[in-house]
A and B are shown apart, each in its own frame.
Chain A
């Protein structure tokens, strides 16, 4: 069973009273452990798709199934539970909370979910991204690449089955970006599916599948073509 399944998904935004389509008839399956790159020009609907995949937003028509569950059928509490258990988010601008230490940032989703042993799990995840030495620091004391690694550790903290990354290397130089991509590659191998929006061909290259979007439609689904 796919961990993420979009079935004839349409998403309209209402602008000035008129519906403007951001996604039209998008169908896509992501298998567990699959690393998918979303590519396409700016405004083609990548972020929109990620939001739908993360149950943060809902399709105008069609269905989004996460681990077999239709997101439109869930109430607020159900959605919150779904996000807590199945999904991790990574952002272009890291989005660490400035007032919390590195370890506390990673602990946060676990604490919100009321999971025991939050601190121990957080330290494990930090080790996974080679940041355990920085556990007590505050975000502003880290470099961009380090912040993104912490953000990845945080996304991984509740052991989600699906990781959604919106241009995770967009704010990083290419060599730091490369390290982050390798890290994601490793995570996907360990069984977490990743859907990553990106503009970079190098980034797309290390994935399993490249999905090309244009004007809200899937233009092509293919294996990456090494340059």
Chain B
């Protein structure tokens, strides 16, 4: 009981006396928690609980059979001949676009006689009709509806014969035979699901070499593994706002302690033991954290709704097609939110609460003296900072652990700690050097502002630390994304040499490669305006348990027109010349990094059931997806997978032909088919638009972190006005105008902003180097060239600066409104 009274008198009452500041602190924690939760929830919905959109109607299968380029029909026969009670479920898997909804959904060919849809006719004649489809329950169609579907490069009307049962999602299902015709699969299957007891090695032997037989769901597991790194990075980013919030809790509790030293001394003299004091201040932090955590849950749930689309877009364009699951706020996630809020608060409050417990019963020291001691320590802290910076440098040289840049993150955290330790020295340095000139230049207000920032060094250091950390993260991610963007732009300039690009209207994704009919290419090649057509085909494959993309183009044409920069710096011509007709390939940088291969290595993959060994001639720069490419010549591909359909075409015009006439001719040649014709320029614009969309979630996360920091500045300035109210009253006695009082606060905010920007930019550049050369390289495997996104940086910093000063307006008004007689005489 006495402890509760103590808590109430020492903590709760003061908190209630300053509702605005208490609210700001709680809001900062709430936002930090909310961002983490939002990313957690959105991540789970869009990537974490990843279910391939192809899992529809799979039931409780035990095994799945797959291979790159499609399973030959013989495999199904051999499996069927096994003397085992097995249920075989062959299927074709692709995507269709519902034309009027512009929505891409899974399009499956299954054996309807075996599956027996719950609705609609069940005779084989209706099944085999070219226009019969069954639709997933979530699509909302009814039997008899007519649906226009865009599949690969053609669009047709289909009739809904029935609606599928529960858990059929948004899939559209057709019988195997008509689906094979519509998709042009020439008897190859995409997957065979096997249900029933049978040893895996027996199945593998029956399927033959080059065919992958695995426990059902291992593809999904692969995808999950691939997405894990992505989620990990996203998660780390989402913690930035919470880290910034931690600084602010630290500040709030420090202010509480400093303000109540006298009270603590009295309470101690009256017999309160040290642990009681410690508990009281930790209790304050826990209460703030609890309130923040609870508010953060609701806010996080709301923010997740906005984030899920952004995360899904990134996943879709970089990794794999999936449909985001509904956002589920579970009890576990809610508890995580509250726990995070409380834990971060209590941990940040440990140091100041400990200090409170050390206050001697006779508290005689004045604040001025204490801050003086802090100043003396700033040199020692600077030395620590140097040691930490060195540690960061060493950590940054370490390799990834299990594909995760753990040492890179360690280096980042160490660097942030180093900068926090170096900040007091920066502040003393700048204020000692700057006070006199600033005072001369801007008058008493500037002198007061500089002196009091230096005078309450600890508070200033924490504020600058919080704001500069947020600015640093913003700058670092800004520089990284800006560099990445510039790298991609330059790379596209090299890579995209053709005048026109064609692809089916059905949208492609990182794992989706709709096809064009081969005669399209032939027809275009025959046009008089055309110099060359590069036929590119992509297949989804698995290499060493990770998804990858196998691609094939015309090496001769690429050698003639398209430069493709190689890591080795070798002459592209000689490399491309060695590709046609031979099992020679080039691989993209992310592939090489992920699978630890390099020029001269040999890799084994299976194509249509045939194991193939491929020699890697070189590694090329690529930023189009993170899964990684293996590229061979078209002649090599056709040797193993004779399907002549193409995924896209690069068309080179004759020098005499104009772009307009060439484009018109091509469009005439493809009339009647659903084909998208893009000029070189529009393709680049589209690519950069996708790039920007991919990183929009990153920007959003940073913006929240900066916002939290600025809220903290506002709260801290409010506390500062209250703590220094006597000083402000005195200034009125000394002939200060109210405008001058306001200016003192604004000046302090401006100086805080300046210090934070200087420290933040230095730290930000260092962090960006880590992001570019260590973290990104180790997580995604691509080389990014460092570029300064000057305009973006300047814009962001100006904005932050303006926001910092704006955050000071309210505290400044409070300062000007104080009654000088009251505040000077109270004591």
Contacts and interface: CB of A to CB of B under 8 A. Distances in A.
B452 interface: yes
Contacts of B452: 97, 99
Interface of B: 366-369, 372, 439, 443-444, 447-448, 451-452, 454-456, 726-727, 730-738, 740, 820-821, 824-825, 827
B259 to A, nearest CB: 15
Contact of B735 (A100, A109, A138): A109
A100 B454 CA distance: 10
B735 A98 contact: no
A111 B764 CA distance: 38
A107 B444 CA distance: 9
B366 A111 contact: no
B444 A111 contact: yes
Nearest to A155: B734
Contacts of A54: 733
Interface residues of A, number: 31
Contacts of A91: 824
A80 B455 contact: no
B738 to A, nearest CB: 7
Contacts of A139: 368
Contacts of A98: 366-368, 455
Contact of A56 (B455, B740, B820, B827): B820
Closest 7 CB pairs of A and B: A99-B455, A111-B444, A84-B735, A98-B368, A140-B368, A99-B451, A109-B734
A89 B729 CA distance: 12
Contacts of B730: 95, 97
A201 interface: no
Given A97-B448, A139-B368, 14 more contacts: A76-B737, A84-B735, A91-B824, A93-B827, A95-B730, A95-B824, A97-B451, A98-B367, A100-B447, A100-B451, A111-B439, A112-B734, A140-B366, A154-B734
B728 to A, nearest CB: 11
A56 B732 contact: yes
A166 to B, nearest CB: 9
Contacts of A113: 735
B597 to A, nearest CB: 63
A204 to B, nearest CB: 22
A47 interface: yes
Nearest to A138: B368
A23 to B, nearest CB: 14
B367 to A, nearest CB: 7
A108 B732 CA distance: 11
B735 A56 contact: no
A176 interface: no
28 contacts: A47-B825, A56-B733, A57-B821, A76-B737, A77-B737, A80-B736, A83-B732, A83-B735, A89-B733, A95-B726, A97-B448, A97-B727, A98-B366, A98-B368, A99-B368, A99-B451, A99-B454, A99-B455, A100-B451, A111-B439, A111-B444, A111-B447, A112-B734, A113-B735, A114-B443, A138-B372, A140-B366, A140-B369
Contacts of A111: 439, 443-444, 447
Given A80-B736, A95-B730, A112-B731, A104 B451 contact: yes
A130 B730 CA distance: 24
Contact of B734 (A47, A57, A77, A89): A89
A77 B820 CA distance: 16
A51 interface: yes
Contacts of B451: 97, 99-100, 104
Contacts of A76: 737-738
